[in-house]
Chains A and B, each alone.
Chain A
Amino acid sequence: MTSYLLICLIGVVFIAFWAGRTKAVKLAGSELAALHSRPDYHGLYTVILTAFPALLLIPVWNFFASRIIEGALKREFADHVNGLGLPQLQAFLRDVNAIVDGGIASNRDEVHVLAAQYLSKLNGTSDWLLTSFVLLLMAAGFFHAYRQISVQNRSRHVVEKTIRWIVLVCSVVAIFTTIGIVLSLIFESVRFFGKVPLLDFLFGLHWSPQSAFEGAGAEALADDNSKIFGAIPLFLGTFLVTIIAMAVAGPIGLMAAIYLSDYASSRFRAIAKPLLEILAGIPTVVYGFFAALTVAPAIRGWGESFGLSVSSESALAAGLVMGIMIIPFVSSLSDDVINAVPQSLRDGSAGLGATKSETIRKVVLPAALPGIVAAMMLAISRAIGETMIVFMAAGTAANLTINPLEAVTTVTVQIVTLLVGDQEFDSAKTLAAFALGLVLFFITLVLNIIALRVVQKYREQYD
């Protein structure tokens, strides 16, 4: 029903625009300049007054109607419902809805069918009411706007104000989504820390959530729970893989950027830069099996030829491949900032007899440093957040090690393994994922703040 209304609304929008515009043009006659606002603004003005109230009504109506209907249903079938606990009540409502929508209901006894009939009646009434209200609102808005249009009508101001509100709402949506995500992380983490002490989590050296004991008798074993949620191995693993990745991507990316911006001919640059950026477009899963099937065995082969014991899933393999993956992040951004260093500085340095590499090392790079730091920080955030490559190439074993030849696991990989599969949602195991997410969020936040500070400090000095 609502979808028909929306389609109808789109049609009305075009008609309203055309009507408002035509009236404005007619009123202006031969003197178009006499209009306070251009004809298009009068058209948009009509559209706004016609469509916006109706558009606002639909979600508000749906929000309240579903609650009112549910309340009415419960009252009507109070005899049946009153004896039920929360899960049973939810099951009842779910089944009734399923019968109405033609879905699969687990229970089709008489009460359910009756309830379904009652529900569909209520739904029908609600839809008709909504439709008529929307049509009324549109008609009222349209005629009001149409009557308002005159040579002096300040349609442009209304349109500008509406646009202002639209962009405001969009930015607020983004901000509130962020706040919502952070809050949900915090709330779930607090529940987790109710089960496992914060310090045990942050500084514990042992991570094996699969052995967490749930169900009857869990209270008695609470001490054990706090011993198996030690996050240090995960953060150490993340740290190790990130370091290896940055050791690859940092120098290679930066030097590639220097070559592209200062040495390469413009023709080579025009071809090479997009090619390099394609690297960023390869799905991480593809990098993942490249790491797991090609790089890891190769490293193992080399290692063994030197007499080293290398596990078949290693931090080194994951780090190397992740490094390759983030090269374009470093090189593309660095290339942009290096290019932004004015040619006059390069000329000045060359004019003093500095060679090209001296100029780059001593003048260009220092001048581009804030941007380069920002690029590196972005790459680090990307490396910390990367999941798939590590999942496939570094394994899931939470070893407490800094040996890059051993299997490690990272925070993101553990979040995935904690949340997939059959779990109760309020077990310590699933809640641990939120706690890990929260800590990871803090780490990237701190990194970003540090990067911002560095950028600001040097910007003051250099600009």
Chain B
Amino acid sequence: MDTGVVSLKENNEMTENGQSSKPLKMRCRDVSVFYAEKQALFDVDLDINQKQVTALIGPSGCGKSTFLRCLNRMNDTIDICRVEGSIHLDDMDVYDPDIDVVELRARVGMVFQKPNPFPKSIFENVAYGPKIHGLVSGKRDLEEVVVTSLKKAGLFEEVKDRLHEPGTGLSGGQQQRLCIARAIAVSPEVILMDEPCSALDPIATARVEELIDELRENYTIVIVTHSMQQAARVSQRTAMFHLGVLVEVDDTDTIFTNPSDEKTQAYITGRYG
């Protein structure tokens, strides 16, 4: 089974702008987003490094979720939404009209704010992606992918006896990990997470955060979060958005200890947001 993620060039360190020691995975330049006439994002330049967790923070309505949804063209589903600028995944131009969105989304998976397991069994939920992309041949192959994905999402032990029960019967935290397993099953290179813990209790949140930390070894992760602590705990780099503008991006340690922008400072210390 090709997970597409076991890179041999683990230690291929590359320094860019003196900020990072990881190679580049996604490159965004001058990204602007419009909803009909209203501009929601203004010329965002952001690099996302491989096998790191990048956190997008900022007050509500600052455009961080909009930006996240640009990365796998989920905004396409909104009729009035228009995206300008360029986003590259490795060498692939994400907004090239010729590229196949299906292939893009297979490479850039997504986990949503509210756990949204399909009304199918746990097994079928995870098998969904591999089936539609034809990643597996035969039943045993499929079972292997499902089990591996559930294991990677840290859910297998809890559900191994009831794989054929509905995924909607799980607890909220388990559902969210099921959604992560579902995303992993397609062997994406990048996983986008839109406030994955906002609907979960603290214990389930801790479990998912732990999982994110483990997944970092094999996947590039971009996470939108409202929780400063969460950004500090799980991410290596943090990007601060405000009113559709990328205010500041830096190593998480730097952002939280020595932010260069006043607004970041104010937001992190809880003075507004």
Which residues of A approach B to under 8 Å, CB–CB?
265, 342, 344-355, 358, 362-363, 366-367, 461-463
Contact = CB atoms under 8 A, between A and B. Distances in A.
B114 A366 contact: no
B132 A350 contact: no
B132 A461 contact: no
A354 B118 contact: no
Contact of A366 (B77, B79, B120): B120
Interface in B77-135: 77, 79, 101-106, 109-112, 114, 116-120, 128-129, 132-133
Contacts of B183: 351-352
Given A348-B179, A351-B109, A353-B105, A461 B166 contact: yes
Contacts of B102: 353-355
A357 to B, nearest CB: 11
B80 to A, nearest CB: 10
A366 B132 contact: no
A460 to B, nearest CB: 9
Contacts of B72: 351
Majority-rule SS of A interface residues? helix
Contact of B119 (A265, A355, A462): A462
Given A347-B116, A358-B132, A352 B105 contact: yes
Interface in B182-206: 182-183, 186
B168 interface: yes
Cβ-closest 10 pairs across A and B: A351-B110, A353-B105, A462-B119, A344-B116, A353-B106, A348-B116, A352-B129, A367-B119, A353-B102, A354-B132
Nearest to B107: A353
B230 to A, nearest CB: 21
Given A353-B132, A353-B186, A358-B132, A344 B114 contact: yes
B118 A345 contact: yes
B6 interface: no
Contact of A352 (B77, B166, B182): B182
B103 to A, nearest CB: 7
B128 A462 contact: no
Given A345-B116, A351-B110, 13 more contacts: A348-B118, A351-B183, A352-B106, A352-B132, A352-B186, A353-B132, A353-B133, A354-B102, A362-B132, A363-B128, A461-B119, A462-B119, A462-B168
